[in-house]
Amino acid sequence: MTLSQSLFVIGLLIAASAFFSMAEISLAAARRLRLRQMADEGDPRADRVLRMQEQPGDYFTVVQVGQNAVAILGGIVGEGALSPHFTALFELWLSDTTAQTVGFLASFAAITSLFILFADLFPKRLGMAEPERMVVRLAQPMAWCMTLLRPMVWFYSRGADALFRVLGLSSLRDDRITSDDILAMMEAGARAGVLAAREQQVITNVFELDTRMVSSAMSPRDRIAFFLRDEPDSVIRLRIAAEPFSTYPVCEGDIDHVVGYVDAKDLFQRVLNNQPISLADDSLVRKVLIVPDRLTLSEVLEQFRLVHEDFAVIVNEYSLVVGVVTLNDVMSTVMGDLVVGPADEEQIVRRDENSWLIDGVTPVQDVLHALSLDELPHAEEYETLAGFLMVMLRRVPRRTDSVSWGGYKFEVLDVDSYRIDQVMVSRLGVPQSEASPPAPAMAKAEG
């Protein structure tokens, strides 16, 4: 062959190798969710690609046969076409033997470089950039190749299947999507600017419902406003005015003997109609949902759905009331600060770039989010920031007590009757001049 004919054949071989390279990488990189969407929109090629992804053995066999055959032919044609010309060029300065060796190496380097650049790197990068669009275009030509090379494909595919069986491996692609996969996609979307940071946090909070305990969203025992069943009308009215909530537990004797709950709307209706309020009236007191404190928020939501309620009293293993939770509490956990009302105080207040003022009853998960930490030590032993400090100190913390961990200092600012009200969290290693003056104490209102 003449030089022009050889170069033309090399060009065809490079194009064929590029075709197989692009077909290989685009099928491997194509996202099944996107292909399913394209199929639902009426693209039959996407359905064909989905079937190929389920059984990719024959497809990749054709790719490997084609790439190896093209590479061998490219080496043979390239060496015969270019070596004489490179040898003749180098004979102007080198001896015949040396010129032949250098000419062969130059021919090898030129052909290899052409194949690496145009038959490998460029098509694979293009296939990775737009895998779904490329694979649906290449699916039909690849189907023709599989039909044309059917005997060879059958032989090599069965051989590969036998190797998988001998080694005890599965050749099937696992396309199950886990919550970690979805969260990783959301994080990537947030970094790319496709998803707002708050939207990403809401999605993350939804997945945490299966792991966050109900105690992380409840109003604790010492913040519950409740009525005793035998309290007179005047006391009830004063309590409503002093502690205006939507729901009040009704107890017999003390808070640990809950007999039901009363809705503030029913109380207000009686007040507006100038009717007396008596909690001995069974028509006013509703049956209350009692749930154990070991339930997750997801399980509490299911309980609300089953009984068609949006309020529950939480008890521990000794049947003592530890808190109350409402549907709004659970949804506030999901939505975060997107639903903080004007009457609510934040549990976590960022004072500056290096310090936070945090309520002691703040759930550990919220603290981890605020400080960008993965975990705190002995996490199974507590659920709030106050619990973390108690576990680390091995005693009830006092004012000015502190714990340093994970690059942060946790210092107790205020203690009220053994309850940790406020904790100052600051980064370690920050110069004192960068610190801000103490902020006023803040507490989260019950609601």
User: pLDDT value at position 258?
Assistant: 92
Report CA-CA distances (Å) from 93 to 96, 101, 109: 10, 13, 20
User: pLDDT value at position 324?
Assistant: 92
The pTM assigned to this predicted structure is 0.55
Q: How confident is the model at residue 325 (pLDDT cuts 50, 70, 90)?
A: very high
CA distance 83 to 46: 45
Question: pLDDT at residue 340 above 70?
Answer: no
Q: How confident is the model at residue 381 (pLDDT cuts 50, 70, 90)?
A: confident
Q: What is the DSSP letter of 55?
A: S
Q: Provide mean pLDDT across the span 335-348.
A: 58
Q: How confident is the model at residue 345 (pLDDT cuts 50, 70, 90)?
A: low
Q: Provide mean pLDDT across the span 60-89.
A: 72
User: pLDDT value at position 363?
Assistant: 83
Sign of CA dihedral 359, 360, 361, 364: positive
Q: What is the mean pLDDT of the chain?
A: 79
User: pLDDT value at position 315?
Assistant: 92
Q: At what angle do helices 264-272 and 233-242 cross, to 10 degrees?
A: 120
The three-point CA angle 368-374-375 to 5° equals: 75
| 150-198 pLDDT per residue, tens | 787 777 777 777 887 788 776 665 666 666 767 777 777 777 776 777 7
* Contact in structure between 258 and 229 (CB atoms under 8 Å): no
Q: How confident is the model at residue 83 (pLDDT cuts 50, 70, 90)?
A: low
More confident residue, 225 or 95: 225
Long-range contacts of 176-182 (CB under 8 A, 24+ apart): 177/33, 179/207, 182/207
Q: Provide mean pLDDT across the span 321-339.
A: 80
User: pLDDT value at position 1?
Assistant: 58
